[in-house]
Structure 1
Amino acid sequence: MVTQLIQQARPYWHAYVRHEFVQQLAHGTLAKTSFQHYLKQDYLYLFHYSRMFALAMYKSENFAQMEVSREHLNAVLDEIQLHIKYCQQWGIDEQTLFSTQESSALIAYTRYVLDCGMTGSLAELYAAIAPCMLGYAEIGRWITEEKLSVANNPYQTWIDTYASDEFQQSAVKTREFLTALYQPLTTQQREKVQHIFTTATRMEVAFWEMGLHCQV
């Protein structure tokens, strides 16, 4: 089912997982300023990402659904601390992160996802959330399996994070959960889920563009 969502989200999905930002990152040619800009905006994204999973807990209809979102929320809260330390390795201190303003791409993306959750079902919220995790897992896997990364790549730690077994397994769980939410939906509800998934994928493309060109 998720494969179908991805297929019907083309060509945006391909533009997302094969974006120039991703390719330059894999080849180690991405400008440091672009990566730093991305890292600062990604920190802000993680804040809203946490809110998305907290909202998903509220939208849950039983404890089993709530547990899935709770695990995701805990993982993101742990990741934020790791992200702050990683940013320090790139010359970005906590004060800089705290004072960074949200880019227009970040505002559009995160508020769209939260709006899907506030006004729609849990399936609609996860359709908006899923492209992030599924896409990053595919990117990490693609770069690693195709051996695209160069020796001494300054972005190898980032690549390894999303190619890791832990992240890949988390992506699998997200696919399974979204599939379970999708199966009982009516044709009309499925069409809305597809629209949301495709729109969120378009937002991911815009997020890479923001990082690549240091847009604010």
Structure 2
Amino acid sequence: MNYQILIVDDEPPARKLLSDYVSKVGHLELAGVCSNGEEAMDFLKINPVDILLLDIRMPLMTGIDLLNELPDKPLTIFVTAYEEYAVKGYELDVIDYLMKPVSFERFRKAIEKAVEYLSVQVSAEDTTEKPDYFFIKTDTRIVKFFYSEVQAIEAQREYIKIITPTRKILSLLSLTSIANALPGEFVRIHRSFIINMRHIDEVQSNEVLIGEDLYPISRNYRDDFFKKLGDRKLL
């Protein structure tokens, strides 16, 4: 499972360093990079993430102000040059507190702690019985889908398109936010596509055929897709 991570820091060198660190950790995916709290607030309204790497002292809105404003806080790691905020950080339930300049080894340990925490949350959720359907809000309706009928989900800017054999419905959601709620038969094969493995008719080189539609498999998701395909007892 890849975890979506957002970097928020007003210093370009810090953003570059943290982006490089993220790229070195296999189970992380960089969802975005923001230079201040207001930009991050707007980003998080439509792009939920799993982990937030957050500077504290920033113009316009501090990292602490951002956390106080967010209704649904991602798991947060403070990254700052000022150790006096450590106590405040733990009052806000941040998972870790990194002092600049951050070494890769210290960064990696903080990420491991965050991933372990997220994994426990997922395991706890998996123990409860889940319904075999979900509801999606469109502009004027709330539409019910059975997971088993959904063939694919496509990202279209700030919208997603849910595709079944009989209908295609648009909803104002991000692909990442719905991906985190889908059961195991769904797999992301491209930054713009999630497909339901139950509906695969053929795999053709770097494409998946479902019905009459071909969906591309991108290099970033290829290994995870073929591992899941192999787990289905491929002969």
TM beyond 0.5:
no
Larger RCO, structure (CA 8 Å, separation 6 or more) = 1
Q: Could you state the TM-score of these two structures normalised by the residue count of structure 1?
A: 0.28
TM-score by length of 2: 0.27
More helix per residue: 1
- Please say which structure displays the higher CA radius of gyration: 2
